[in-house]
Amino acid sequence: MSFTHVESGLSARVDGKFLKNEGRRFRIKGVSYGTFAPDSNGCQFPILARVREDFQAMTRVGINTVRTYTVPRLDFLDEAATAGLSVIVGIPWMQHVAFLDDRARTQSIRHEIVNDVSTIAEHPATLLVALGNEIPPGVVRWHGASRIETFLRNVYDDTKAVAPDVLLTYVNYPPTEYLDLPFFDVCAFNVYLHRESDLRAYVAHLQVVAGNRPLLLTEIGADSLSEGESGQADLAVMQVKTVFEEGACGVVVFSWTDDWWRGGQPVNDWRFGLTTVDRQPKPALLGVSREYDDVGFSQQDQAAWPRVSVLVCAHNAADTVGECLESLLSLDYPNYEIIVINDGSSDATGSVARQHRDVLVIDTDHIGLSAARNLALTHATGTIVAYTDADVRVDPEWLVYLIQPFLRSDAVGSGGPNVVPRDDPWVAQCVARAPGSPTHILIDDRLAEHVPGCNMAFRRDALVAIGGFNESFHAAGDDVDVCWRLQANGGRIEFASSALVWHRHRSTVKAFWRQQVGYGQAETWLMDVHPERFLDGQALWKGRIYSPLPFMHAISRIQVNAGAWGTAAFPTVYSAQVPSLTSLPHLMPWQMVSAALAVVGVGCLVAGQIHVAGLMLCAAGIGFAVTVSRCLVYGWRTDVHLLPKIGEAERLSVFRYRLMISWLHLAQPIARAWGRFLGHLWSPVTADRREGFAAPARKATYSLSWPTILPLLTRRLTVEDFWSERWIDRVMLLNEMSQRLQFHSVTGSVHAHDPWQLDRDVSVSTGIFGWVDLRTLLEEHDGGRCLFRVATRHRLTPWGVLALTGCGIGGIVLVAMGQAAGLLTWCGVSTLVIASVWQRAVRVHAGIRAVVAQVATEYGLLPINSRKISGSSADAEPSSEAVRPSDATTTTEK
């Protein structure tokens, strides 16, 4: 469908979670108007004189927006503009029938909507256009939610084609909340709830539904017939106040007057108006007027708000730190300070920061992100510390909403969303739409499991109590670590949906690759510190990663409980994981298998085995093709039409966006895997630079040597002996060791005190292929002295045995076939696989030894020697080189 483009005179635009009009923040303080009985021309509005009187009365009580349910005449809009009112124009159409069953009717509806929008698009009073209102749940069930979503998307695209500057919405309501409509500029809902707790909870839920878009409640109110006029006033005041405090961009009270016409007749059994039919004000009008005059939080509320320290850590950020500080200095918050840590920058970061007054700038050597955040924490004077990055621009009311969780609950942390600025380069726009960007993870509508480091705040005393940030994390992972440690300490972290920041993303593919490699390294170090949070190398999130990306939609789905026959007023929407096969082509094991098949295929091709080579290369090609095709699907499903054009040709611009997004989907898991590999090779080394902080728990240090590696390769027991001059409880030592292994080592999952296992006390997973078993013995000697013995040995799981057997059988088959090249390739691949498995086993084994030595030292046990015992028996006789207890006593006395 093609339409004629209309130039709009509108100045309203979306500004994060809010709206701007004529360059200033615009909160919708609205009232609905109509529908009224139609006149002889079918117009459902009063005569112009009555409209003028109503508009003048509205402006006197602080109303700035009128919502209509039908398309008004231009003279109606002129009167609104004269009175200083904005208009939310509703476009009516046949939404209460099965409109999608008739293709001609569907096309007619789309044309009529576009024509209606064209008539009012260029008028300056038009603030927002609603392309529909409350499609009945029965109609949605009849057609299916996906068809309704597709129809509304088509209508949206049709309208944007003729009026690209007009803000568009669809007014939804709770029975069809599950409709997925993220493309509309504003998320609008009609909600009638009379208990404040219920309304707060539901608005918080709608903020999650809205995501990074403004949330507008287009109908609230109460019936004065059933509630009484004073009851109506109390409810209306509560609703308006609650909605604004929960961070909505506006609210529309239903309605201006009791004069209401619907279904071809006047409505007399409801009285929702703020005025009577003859425009006499009710008490609700005065109450709403007072709330509109003082939108949001009162001066009394603000006087009790805590002092906040805003902390910015900057390294070579001269290009962005100025914009960041300008936005921070413009914050609408009564009591805060700004501290910048110039983390060893080699550019002009420090001098740029010092150009801004009322900013404390502290220069330091390059100590890393976590250490810089700890340094800022030591200088902070606020009871709340808020962290953001130097490449961030904050919303003027960022702190207002970021501190609300601390005021309404005992939360120790909070955080909000981050979005890419519209003026970021085109590659940065693609990066923001690729997997791997920092985002929040929510357990429910308020409770967060993780908030990103560019937008997070904590109670200072709670952060100090856990030792601040773990300085092992130099560039990434520190936000995840601190959130997990705060929660492990019993703290709650809440999500502040309206505390939004604009975060500049990486503007080149190289920078994106380096970022993802860094994230991969951080994941490896997180596994070392929080092994209980990972399973087979994947983080175990309790919550849901909230993202509009097609990739995230593909690996999760919603399930809706709409009640019996779809009659629930508030359906329950659940998020569920789809089978892992959906994400399998994006995982490194899939890609490594594909690469291994390709290598073997090339080897067979060189050896002249054409048929075998063909099978191997075909399998590898299918594996790569599935991965690439999935990435292309995600790129092509990404909504890029409203992004700034690259060059002049719009179609070419869209193609370039989608191709780049597809490429980033392909590169991201590879970069993460490479980062994890590097993280295994180089563990971070830190020195605690702080005073007055209890250092966070760190993993035990250890070293690797051939004497510790060889026993693992030969399944020999490694035995360590520890001598004590006093008796020590073996169970107490085992409990302490198992606890340390569970929470503070490089180990995987830990199985302890299993009564069914007679040959081991503790087993530590090295992954899917093996375990390291630990068993202990306490020998009692004269005088209450004792010898504590610890034996460790590697044990393969059935999967490990199968993998080794497969490697061996594959080699034997290739030898029998006389395939020298294939055998060489197979041996190379098998060696890499076995080496990676054993490398993990060696790290776990060394970590166990370090923890054992640490616990033994703390309990006053002295190490004697380490010995290796062949075979499977733990009761083998000690070697002649073993130090006897009496000798150990003599050595100790010396």
* Three-class secondary structure assignment of 52-115: HHHHHHHHHCCCCEEECCCCCCHHHHHHHHHCCCEEEEECCCCCCCCHHHCHHHHHHHHHHHHH
Neighbours of 642 (CB within 10 A): 10
According to DSSP, the residues that pair with 723 across neighbouring strands are 787, 862
* Burial per residue of 454-490, b for 16 or more beta-carbon CB atoms within 10 angstroms, e otherwise: bbbbbbbebbbbbbbbbbbbbbbbbbbbbbbbbbeee
Instruction: Give the span between the Cα atoms of 367 and 436, in whole angstroms.
Output: 25
pLDDT of residue 330: 94
In angstroms, what CA-CA distances link 300 with 141, 296, 305? 48, 12, 9
pLDDT in tens, 291-316: 999 887 878 888 889 999 999 999 99
* Cβ contact 183:427 at 8 Å: no
Name the 3-class secondary structure at 410: coil
Residue whose token pair is 């936005």: 327
Name the token pair of 526. 């997180």
What is the C-alpha R_g of the chain?
33
Could you say which residues of the chain have pLDDT below 70? 1-10, 535-537, 546-559, 561-562, 564-566, 573-584, 681-717, 742-749, 752-758, 818-822, 865-894
pLDDT of residue 746: 54
Amino acid at 254: F
Could you give the angle at the alpha carbon of 131 between the alpha carbons of 126 and 134, nearest 5°? 125
How far does the chain reach from its first CA to its final CA, in angstroms? 95
Name the token pair of 182. 């993220």
Instruction: Give the span between the Cα atoms of 278 and 561, in whole angstroms.
Output: 44
Name the 3-class secondary structure at 263: coil
* Cβ contact 110:150 at 8 Å: no
Name the token pair of 510. 């190289």
Phi/psi region, residue 323 (left: phi>0; alpha: psi -120 to 50; beta: rest), is alpha
pLDDT of residue 3: 39
* Burial per residue of 5-44, b for 16 or more beta-carbon CB atoms within 10 angstroms, e otherwise: ebebebebebbbbbbebeeeebbbbbbbbbbbeeeeeeeb
Name the helix (H) or strand (E) containing 441: strand 441-442
**Architecture of domain 300-422+436-507 in this structure:** Alpha-Beta Complex (3.90)
Q: How far is CA 826 from the centre of its chain?
A: 41
pLDDT of residue 226: 92
* Cβ contact 522:473 at 8 Å: yes
Closest by CA to 282, choosing from 251, 254, 257, is 257
Instruction: Give the span between the Cα atoms of 564 and 175, in whole angstroms.
Output: 12
Closest by CA to 822, choosing from 596, 623, 606, 619, is 606
Name the token pair of 508. 């080149």
**Architecture of domain 13-296 in this structure:** Alpha-Beta Barrel (3.20)
Instruction: Give the span between the Cα atoms of 100 and 107, in whole angstroms.
Output: 9
pLDDT of residue 391: 93
Ordered by start, the domain boundaries in the chain are 13-296, 300-422+436-507, 706-893
pLDDT of residue 874: 37
Amino acid at 251: V
Instruction: Give the span between the Cα atoms of 76 and 81, in whole angstroms.
Output: 9
In angstroms, what CA-CA distances link 606 with 601, 611, 821? 9, 12, 7
pLDDT of residue 360: 95
* Cβ contact 126:120 at 8 Å: yes
pLDDT of residue 894: 27
